[in-house]
């Protein structure tokens, strides 16, 4: 080789992912695609292409699109329920806990937008968990004990607390979905008005409600 010839530099090979790393990558890729296009609108081919792998790799880790979707949904449900459970475990009266629960859901909508979009979409055929209705039912069970205590103090029928918990959580969830699409109001304002309606009712609405809970 002559002196003016140079040896081509070796291109470093990309480190191969471990099985665990590949699984996490596929979950993140699937999460984004499911949020953008929904379950029905996302194919295994798209998931594989976005992850830079072949279709058999997706099947190897999850058995198919349904398995990947189930993992994504389970993680989102755990994150949301964990946030709300922590909010309801704090010290404070019923009004304060209601504020914290509303803020916990709105925090999730704000910080995990893709996850919330997945949860509010229809779940795939044959799947009984992961739908918005089933998720809100789980959240409502966390809220019930607040209402039971409030009902007893006001000498109301505590047996009706589960029904009111479903009403309350449904109202917050749908408001969160509306806020996600519009974002015309600040999070604190949305939470304040939610609590205003839930706590005071239409007959006793405050004209300019504010939260007593600090907003991050």
The CATH number that applies at residue 98 is 1.10.357.10
Residue 1 belongs to a domain: no
Q: Based on the structure, what is the number of domains in the chain?
A: 1
Alpha helix ranges (H) inside the chain: 19-37, 44-51, 55-62, 65-88, 94-111, 113-120, 132-153, 161-182, 187-200
**Sign of the torsion angle spanned by Cα atoms 88, 92, 94, 97:** negative
Q: Which of 170, 215, 177, 216 is nearest to 197 (CA)?
A: 170
Residue 169 has pLDDT above 60, yes or no: yes
Query: For the chain, what is the mean pLDDT?
Result: 83
The answer to whether the predicted template modeling score (pTM) of the entire model surpasses 0.85 is: no
Mean pLDDT of 94-103: 84
What is the greatest pairwise CA distance in the chain? 98
The pLDDT tens digits for 122-147 are 666 555 555 566 777 777 877 787 77
Q: Tokens 């600040």 map to which residue?
A: 186
Q: Is position 5 within any domain?
A: no
CA-CA distance, 108 to 162, in Å (whole number)? Answer: 23
pLDDT of residue 192: 94
Q: Is the pLDDT of residue 92 over 60?
A: yes
Residue 161 is part of which domain span? Answer: 19-203
Task: Specify whether the CB–CB gap between 56 and 113 falls below 8 A.
Answer: no
Asked if 167 and 173 touch (Cβ cutoff 8 Å), the reply is: no
Contact 48, 26 (CB under 8 A): no
Q: Per the domain annotation, does 11 fall within a domain?
A: no
| Least confident piece of the model among 5-9, 37-41, 53-57 | 5-9
Question: Could you give the dihedral angle defined by the CA atoms of residues 20, 21, 23 and 24, in that order, rounded to the nearest 10 degrees?
Answer: 120
Residue 2 maps to a domain: no
For position 12, what pLDDT does the model report? 47
> What's the average model confidence in pLDDT over 180-189?
88
Question: What band does 5 get if pLDDT is binned at 50, 70 and 90?
Answer: low
The token pair at 30 is 């699937």
Whether residue 208 lies inside any domain: the answer is no
* Domain-located, residue 6: no
Name the residue among 73, 195, 191 with its Cα closest to residue 132: 73
CB 120 within 8 A of CB 172: no
| pLDDT confidence tier of residue 4, bands split at 50, 70 and 90 | low
Whether 10 is in a domain gets the answer: no
Burial of 27 (0-12, 13-18, 19+ CB in 10 A): middle
Minimum mean pLDDT range among 31-35, 43-47, 81-85: 81-85
Percent of the chain residues topping a pLDDT of 90: 35
- For residue 71, pLDDT over 60 is answered with yes
- Is residue 12 in a domain? no
């Amino acid at each position: 080789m002559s002196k003016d010839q140079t040896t081509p530099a070796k291109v470093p090979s990309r480190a191969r992912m471990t099985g665990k790393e590949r699984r996490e990558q596929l979950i993140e890729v699937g999460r984004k695609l499911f949020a953008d296009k929904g379950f029905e609108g996302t194919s295994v081919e798209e998931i594989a292409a976005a992850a830079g792998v072949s279709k058999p790799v997706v099947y190897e880790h999850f058995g198919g699109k349904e398995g990947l979707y189930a993992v994504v949904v389970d993680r989102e449900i755990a994150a949301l329920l964990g946030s709300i459970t922590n909010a309801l475990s704090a010290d404070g009266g019923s009004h304060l806990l209601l504020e914290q629960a509303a803020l916990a859901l709105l925090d999730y909508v704000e910080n995990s937008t893709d996850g919330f979009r997945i949860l509010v979409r229809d779940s795939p055929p044959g799947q009984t968990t992961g739908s918005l209705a089933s998720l809100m039912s789980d959240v409502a069970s966390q809220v019930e004990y607040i209402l039971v205590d409030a009902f007893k103090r006001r000498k109301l029928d505590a047996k009706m607390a589960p029904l009111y918990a479903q009403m309350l959580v449904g109202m917050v969830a749908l408001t969160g979905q509306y806020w996600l699409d519009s974002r015309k109001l600040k999070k604190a304002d949305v939470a304040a008005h939610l609590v205003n309606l839930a706590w005071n009712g239409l007959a006793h609405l405050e004209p300019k409600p504010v939260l007593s809970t600090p907003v991050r």
